[in-house]
Amino acid sequence: MSAPPSNDRYLEVLKALTTTPVRFAVFGSAALLLRYPTLRAKHHLRDADLLLPRDSLPAFAAFIHARAGTVTAWGQPWTPELDVTGRYYVRASLDGLQLDATFETFLDLEAALRGATSCDGVPVCSDEVVWRAKFNKDADAARAFAAEFGLTIPPGL
C-alpha cells in the first residue's frame, strides 16, 4: 500500500521549508507520520501543524507566497503589519495543502523547538509534545488515533 499523494506532497513542502530561515517543528498527526513512516500509507493528512516562533512568521509567509499560496490569520490575509496577538496561528493554503503554523501555545514553544529531532530531514517535535497537544485538543480522539494505529502514548498524559 502506498502513501496518499497528498502525504508525499506535504513531505515535499516541509522539506523545502527546511531550506529557509524559518525555525519550525512539525507536531500533530503530520509529526506522527514523519516519526512512524508505516503510518503514511494508512492515514491521509488533512493538514500539517507546525510550531514556529512569531519572528519566523514573515519568512514563513514569504515561503508560501513565493509558491503562489496564501496565508491568513483567522480569515484575514496575513501581512507583517497585522496584529496577530491572540490569534494563535496562521493558516497557509498551498496547492490544495493546508499548513497551520502555531506561534502562541500552551506548550513551551522554545523547548519544543529545541527538543525536535529530524525525521526524513524535517524537524519533528518529540512524542511527548505531539501527544500533549493532541490530548489538549481532544483526549478521546487522541486515544482513538493511538488505538487505531497501534501507537503508544507516553505515560502521564
Q: What pTM did the predictor assign? A: 0.91
Question: Does residue 103 lie in a domain region?
Answer: yes
pLDDT in tens, 91-114: 999 999 999 999 999 999 999 999
Q: Nine-digit cell at 153?
A: 502514548
**Is there a domain that residue 156 lies in?**
no
Residue 54 falls within a domain, yes or no? yes
Domain assignment present for 154: no
| Number of structural domains found in the chain | 1
Mean pLDDT, the chain, integer: 93
46 touches 96 (CB < 8 A): no
User: What is d(CA 152, CA 157) in angstroms, rounded to the nearest whole number?
Assistant: 11
Whether 3 shows a pLDDT value over 80: the answer reads no
CATH code of the domain covering residue 73:
3.30.460.40
d(CA 133, CA 27): 8
| 147: confidence class by pLDDT, cuts 50, 70, 90 | very high
Among 117, 115, 97, residue whose Cα is nearest residue 48 = 97
The residue range of the domain holding 42 is 5-148
Q: What pLDDT is attached to residue 5?
A: 67
pLDDT over 90 at 131, yes or no: yes
